[in-house]
A and B are shown apart, each in its own frame.
Chain A
Amino acid sequence: MSAPIDLRAAARARAVTLEGEPLDRGQALATWRGRMINEFASAPVFADLAAQLDEAGAEPTLVAEVRAMADEERHHGALCGAVVVALGGEAVAPAPHRERLPGHPAVDRFEAVTRNLLSVCCLSETVACALIDAERREAPAGPLRDVLGSILADEVGHARLGWRWLAAHAERLAEPALRARLGDWLAVAFAHVEAHELANLRPGATPDPAFGVCDGADARGLFYDTVEQVIVPRLTAHGLPAAEAWSRRGAA
Chain B
Amino acid sequence: MNSITARRQALEAVSRITLTLGGLGLGTLGFAGCIEDPMAAPEATAELPQVDLGEALQAAADATNAQDDVDRVALEDVSVDPPDDILDGSLPDALAADEDPDAAPAVDASAADTSAPDAALADAAGACAAGDDWAACCEANGWDWDAGCMAWGPPVPPGMPGEPATVRA
Q: A residues bordering B, Cβ < 8 Å?
A: 1-2, 4, 24, 26-27, 29-35, 37-42, 45, 48, 51-52, 58-59, 61-62, 65, 68, 72-73, 76, 88-90, 92-107, 115-116, 119-122, 124-135, 137-138, 146, 149-161, 163-168, 184-185, 188-189, 191-205, 207, 209, 213-226, 228-234, 236-238, 242-243, 246-247, 252
**Are B152 and A132 in touch, CB under 8 angstroms?**
yes
Measured between C-beta atoms, what is the minimum distance from B98 to chain A in Å?
A: 6
A196's partner among B82, B134, B149, B151 (CB-CB below 8 A) is B151
Chain B residues contacting A137 (CB-CB under 8 Å) are: 1, 5-6, 9-10
**Are A89 and B118 in touch, CB under 8 angstroms?**
yes
* Docked complex Cα distance between A152 and B143 (Å): 27
Chain B residues contacting A35 (CB-CB under 8 Å) are: 148, 150, 152-153
* Docked complex Cα distance between A172 and B84 (Å): 40
**Are B87 and A217 in touch, CB under 8 angstroms?**
yes
**Are B38 and A214 in touch, CB under 8 angstroms?**
no
**Are A106 and B153 in touch, CB under 8 angstroms?**
no
Determine the main DSSP class of A at the interface with B.
Answer: helix
* Docked complex Cα distance between A232 and B96 (Å): 22
Determine the main DSSP class of B at the interface with A.
Answer: loop
**Are A30 and B114 in touch, CB under 8 angstroms?**
yes
**Are A229 and B154 in touch, CB under 8 angstroms?**
no
Q: Known A4-B134, A120-B154, A237-B66; judge A198-B92 contact (CB<8 A).
A: yes
Chain B residues contacting A165 (CB-CB under 8 Å) are: 24
Chain B: CB-nearest residue to A35: B150
Q: Known A27-B114, A232-B78, A236-B73; judge A204-B35 contact (CB<8 A).
A: no
The winner among B108, B117, B143 for most chain A CB atoms within 10 A is B117
Give 22 pairs: A residue, B residue, CB < 8 Å, sorted on A: A24-B114, A27-B114, A37-B145, A59-B24, A65-B28, A100-B168, A103-B168, A104-B160, A106-B163, A129-B10, A133-B39, A134-B9, A159-B18, A160-B42, A161-B28, A164-B22, A192-B155, A200-B151, A219-B149, A219-B151, A225-B7, A233-B69
The 6 closest A-B pairs by CB, nearest first: A204-B110, A26-B114, A42-B153, A200-B151, A203-B89, A38-B153
